[in-house]
Structure 1
Amino acid sequence: MPVRRYYERKPLIRLFLRSVDFVTDGLVWLFSKKRTSSFTEPSKILLLTFGHLGDTLVFSYILPLIRTKYPNSIIDVVASSWCDPIWKRNPHIRQVIHVDHLICNRRPIPFWKKVLIHWQTSLKAIRQLRQEVYDLSLDIRYADPTSHFLLPFLSVQKSIGMGTRRFGGLLDAEYFVPERGSTFHHLAVSMPLFHELGLDIRLESLKPIFYFQETGLEALTPKLGFPVADQPFVLLFPETGMEEKNMPVAFWQRLLENLLNETKLAVILCGQNNQSSRIFENDELKPFRNRLIDAVGKLTIEDIATLAKRARLAISLDSFPAHFSGIWCPVLSFYKKNGTGFEFFPIGNQPVIIIHDHVNSRGATLPRPGFESIFVDELDQKSTQRLISQKIHQLNSLSLSL
């Protein structure tokens, strides 16, 4: 594990980060008292994450392990309001306190409104958290933004986190990530932080889980306009939160043309952006209209979980659905060269196949049953479509045997 802070190569950002840390370290040295933390079982634990849905989902996997280790501890969470569906039915936490950080806010609102929401939610969270005394706090984020700026206002006996993006001096147990260019998985670099909680977590045995109230497929028929319980289907997720990680519409149309010609599977198109519906607007797909279900903007996360439990497979990009669907069904996911690559390869309970052209992730894999990572020179080319068809058949056959 690295033993020093890593700063951006960009000169201005590096100077800014170094300056903030220099001032923070000085203030901590002058005014902060050395804290001792001796306890066998923490009475209260605070978990913090300002990530998006995918980051938050993966972070939530450790909740059952914390509960098993500390059955009597109270667990509170500080997270973004848009991640509430992840925490909504989690039985291990007492409460969720919101901080909507402006850097993570993807809502289509003016920047000044994001700043205002950030300020208002931070003040409200501080007022609420100052009423508590926590034995431990943990934030595993190493990219912007981290929650460390809240620590001076809280009563925490031992704070654990990554000293990568400012304010690392406020942490009692500060850890670091490898420098840029290194190949690592985000959970692997978080293992030392989990060890601070007395948890021995391994990539090969971690069990993804999501708590939700399941409904029958029949209950989704009015939303989908299709009796989905009567036909085997695939879930298609063509969106990410970052435009540069998306694939062109033509890529998805070629994929669907092959899938529909070669199998009897129906396709449920999932997403939030109405532009995704353009994928079905293709003359070559007209003969298969009775197997194309446009569910864009119609489904909740719990609806998707209900569908994923019965789907033959899910097809996705480098985004939340790759992690989420893999809890219940096989996943085929595409990771572009300008995305995260191996760093955020999904951990699933079911087989996962990643096809990618991310050069730094070439040869990288996860020690999970059924996990396969395939590097190609270019995702959007004809030879890759043939490979995709083969892997769809492979996962469809595996799904029948599960």
Structure 2
Amino acid sequence: MRFLIVDTVYDGFLQWLYNTRAPGLAVRSFDEQYRAQVDGFFHTAGAWSEPLRALGHEVLDITANNAPQQVRWMVENDRLDAAKTLSDALVFGGYSLRQKQDFGWQRGFVAEQVRKFRPDVLLCANLYMFDDAFLETVKGSYGVAVGQHAAVMPRNSLKRYDLIISSLPNQVAAFKEQGIRSELVKLAFDERLLLQLADHGKPHDLAFIGQISSHHRGRARFIADVAQELPVSFWGSASWPEDIDPSALKITSNPPLWGLPMYQALKDCRMVLNFHLDAAGDYANNLRLFEVTGVGSVLVTDNKRNIRDYFDPGREIVVYDDAPGCIAAIKRLQSAPDELDAIAKAGQQAVLSRHTYHHRVRDLLPLLG
């Protein structure tokens, strides 16, 4: 089958990719830019493609908000004139461009790609942007439309989708209540990145990598409670709620990380804290579950009702019910290094044997009919 997969990535990742990792990349071919992006390892970018290709499927992998890459595709496919008409927010100069905050061009470019490629399966992983209105513009140019979602529920209409997959059971139920066919497909780990990581030992004992803000009060309060007792290495952006004084915490702050540097930081830590946001409800469901274990570090995560569907707590990961319980578990493991190493090894083995995209693609394909 022919798959067109469309997703978006964080702006911070694109800035790192084009300005730090690969200056000059913006003027290279679409294939070169795509390969550089995949090798930069942004979370899910390119993760479905390699397992699908390994099974003989043809895949066009699109990052809708990667402006240099998207413009290059338009140039190489004789659609530059069409691209120039799609948005005033793009200023072309040769093959380079300046991008403002405008999403119309992103939908317009992807529509051109769908019409050109005519996929059997159109898989959209940003349902806030690619909704029924978008599918109407490409009607007749694809076989089935599949959405993928596991964040705050979209408010736009998605009834044109033939299937929406989610790694959250509560969201599968919510989509079904809207009359949309929905199935559970779990998140996974892209094991290819392991070949790109160095072994620095474990210079950081306990870490948190992510965002802290007043909008994430539960997470902020939890991290603060832990960091009052234990030193925590932190990578990310932080805007603490007014009732938390970060200067009183045992936190070493570092700038946000993207792609491979983020995974390297995860690997360099003995234990990594994880705290789910509200959209997950009572369910364990974020990529950090697999990223931490996948790189061989110990995951310390909140105890959700389905966590045992993924890992064996106490043997493959560490779970907590509250901050005091988390602190006690960490302190105990700090005095039991052999047990800590055993959990790290068992967690990584669990991911590589059960939770890669090669495993998940075999769950996905039967759902497509």
Give the Å deviation of 1:169. Answer: 5.1
Contact 2:212 2:240 in 1 (8 A): no
Q: Aligned in 2, Cα 1:279/1:47: closer, same or farther, shift over 3 Å?
A: farther
1:343-369 C-alpha deviation (Å, 9 max, x unpaired): 52433435544225xxxx446532345
Deviation of 1:275 (Å)? 5.4
Equivalent residues of 1:313, 1:396 under 8 A apart: no
Equivalent residue, structure 1, for 2:260: 302
The aligned runs of 1:148-159 (5 Å cut-off) are: 148-154=132-138, 156-159=141-144
Tell me, which stretches of 5 or more residues in structure 1 are unaligned?
1-41, 85-97, 99-113, 183-187, 192-201, 218-227, 261-266, 286-291, 316-332
Question: Which residues in structure 2 correspond to 1:274-353 (within 5 Å)?
Answer: 281-282=247-248, 285=250, 293-297=252-256, 299-315=257-273, 333-335=274-276, 339-342=280-283, 344-345=285-286, 346-347=289-290, 348-349=293-294, 350=296, 352-353=299-300
Where do 1:9-48 residues align within 5 Å?
42=1, 44-48=2-6
Query: How far is the alpha carbon of 1:153 from its aligned partner?
Result: 3.2
Please tell me whether the aligned partners of residues 115 and 141 of structure 2 are also in contact (alpha carbons under 8 angstroms): no
Give the deviation of 1:134 after TM superposition.
2.3
Q: State the Cα RMSD in Å.
A: 4.8
* Counterpart Cα distance in 1 of 2:218 and 2:229: 20
Alpha-carbon shift at residue 305 of structure 1 (Å)? 1.8
Q: Per-residue deviation at 1:241?
A: 7.3
Give the match for residue 244 of structure 1. Answer: 216
Question: Which among 170, 174, 179 is matched to residue 163 of structure 2?
Answer: 174
Given that residues 124 and 146 in structure 2 are in contact (C-alpha distance below 8 angstroms), is that contact kept between their aligned partners in structure 1? yes
- 1:269 equivalent in structure 2: 234
Question: Matched residues in 2 for 1:115 and 1:170: separation?
Answer: 29
Cα gap change, 1:240/1:341 in structure 2, threshold over 3 Å: closer, same or farther?
A: farther
Deviations along 1:100-140, whole A, 9 cap, x unmatched?
xxxxxxxxxxxxxx996012332333345433332321236
Contact 1:274 1:296 in 2 (8 A): no
TM-score, L = length of structure 1: 0.48
Provide the rounded CA distance (Å) in 1 between the counterparts of 2:280 and 2:184. 20
CA distance in 1, matches of 2:106, 2:134: 12
Question: 8 Å contact 1:61–1:209 — kept in the other structure?
Answer: no
What is the deviation of 1:158? 1.1
Q: CA deviation at 1:66?
A: 0.7
Matches within 5 A, 1:55-66: 57-58=43-44, 60-66=46-52
Judged with a 3 Å threshold, the aligned counterparts in structure 2 of structure 1 residues 67 and 302 are, in CA distance, closer, same or farther, namely: same
Question: Partner letter of residue 271 of structure 1?
Answer: G
Residue 272 of structure 1 contacts residue 296 of structure 1 at CA under 8 Å; is this kept in 2?
Answer: yes
Q: Tell me the TM-score normalised to structure 2 length.
A: 0.52
* 2:302 maps to 1:355: yes
Task: Output the CA distance in 2 between the equivalents of 1:80 and 1:394.
Answer: 46
Change (3 A) 1:300 1:366: same
1: distance between equivalents of 2:47 and 2:213? Answer: 22
CA displacement 1:26-69 (0-9 Å, x = unmatched): xxxxxxxxxxxxxxxx3x42012358699x83575433321211
Please say if 1:209 is aligned against 2:191.
yes
- Given candidates 230, 243, 261, the residue that maps to 1:259 is 230
AA aligned to 1:151 is L
Gaps of 5+ in 2: 14-41, 70-82, 84-98, 149-153, 166-170, 177-181, 346-369
- Which residue of 2 is the match for residue 31 of structure 1? none
Q: Secondary structure at the match of 2:275?
A: strand
Task: Tell me the CA shift for residue 338 of structure 1.
Answer: 7.0
Kept in 2, the 8 Å contact 1:145–1:165? The answer is no
Residue 64 of structure 1 aligns to which amino acid in structure 2?
Answer: E
* 3-state SS of 1:179 partner: helix
CA contact (8 A) 1:233 1:311 kept: yes
Q: How much does 1:271 deviate?
A: 0.3
* Percent identity for Structure 1 against Structure 2: 8
1:215 and 1:162 map into 2 onto residues whose CA distance is 32
- The change in CA–CA distance for 1:372 and 1:131 in structure 2 (over 3 A counts) is same
Pick the aligned partner of 1:234 from 206, 231, 239. Answer: 206
Q: Take 2:318 and 2:205, find their aligned partners in 1: how far apart are those partners?
A: 24
Letter in 2 for 1:236: F
1:245-294 per-position Cα deviation (integer Å, ceiling 9, x unaligned): 55346x5354235334xxxxxx5320023659x87622x75xxxxxx643
SS in 2 for 1:234: strand
2:328 to 349, 363, 386: 386
Q: Which residue of 2 aligns with 1:399?
A: 341
| Structure 1 residues 254 and 78: CA distance shift in structure 2, 3 A | closer
2: CA distance between counterparts of 1:300 and 1:51? 10
CA contact (8 A) 1:255 1:385 kept: yes
Structure 1 counterpart of 2:341, one-letter code:
S
SS for the counterpart of 2:109 is helix
Partners of 2:319 and 2:10 in 1: CA distance? 26
CA–CA distance in 1 between the matches of 2:61 and 2:130? 17
Deviation at 1:215, TM superposition (A): 7.2
User: Secondary structure of the equivalent of 1:157?
Assistant: coil
Task: Work out the CA distance in 2 between the residues paired with 1:306 and 1:272.
Answer: 18
